[in-house]
Copies of this chain bind each other. A is one copy, B any other.
Amino acid sequence: MTKASDDDLSFPQLIKWVEMVTRGEAERTMADLPVSSTQMFVLVLLGQRGEATAADLARMMRITPQALTTLLAPLRQGGLIARRQDEDHGRRHPLRLSGAGEQLVAHARQLSPGVEQRLLEDFTPSERKVLKSLLWRIAKQFR
């Protein structure tokens, strides 16, 4: 039995640490992709949603709509995202992945298991499943 070091860090700090090392690992693995890890996350969320406005995405990520506008700019400019005019609400512009965007997300997805393997090397399949399921329950609240 180790000396209760699980409690040395609070939940927000633990998440921060794991995110930093995961991002480090992922960015080295996906260095040749034309988007940053945050931009990729926007694409992934959009792919999962099918269609969403910029305001929707900002709420899901808990950042300001302004921050999302700047995140979106290079993605639109790179042709990864398509925008249409909402028929009923003139101010809303629903977004979706373009064909190129879908391809890029699919490509990134193929690289993910390698990242996971390096970080969760000593986890059993069951432990991995439990971890992802618990994380998913947190994220889901912001879907």
Chain A interfacial positions (CB closer than 8 Å to B): 5-26, 37-38, 40-41, 44-45, 48, 61-63, 108-109, 112-113, 115-116, 119-120, 122-123, 127-142
Contacts and interface: CB of A to CB of B under 8 A. Distances in A.
Contact of A5 (B115, B136, B138): B136
Nearest to A121: B141
Q: How many copies does the complex hold?
A: 2
Given A13-B41, A61-B20, A137 B112 contact: no
Contact of A12 (B7, B116, B130, B140): B116
Contacts of A139: 9, 14, 17-18, 21
B119 A48 contact: no
Given A11-B112, A119-B11, A18 B135 contact: yes
A23 B16 contact: yes
A19 B15 contact: yes
B12 A115 contact: yes
Contact of A13 (B44, B129, B130, B137): B44
Given A12-B26, A20-B63, A119 B136 contact: no
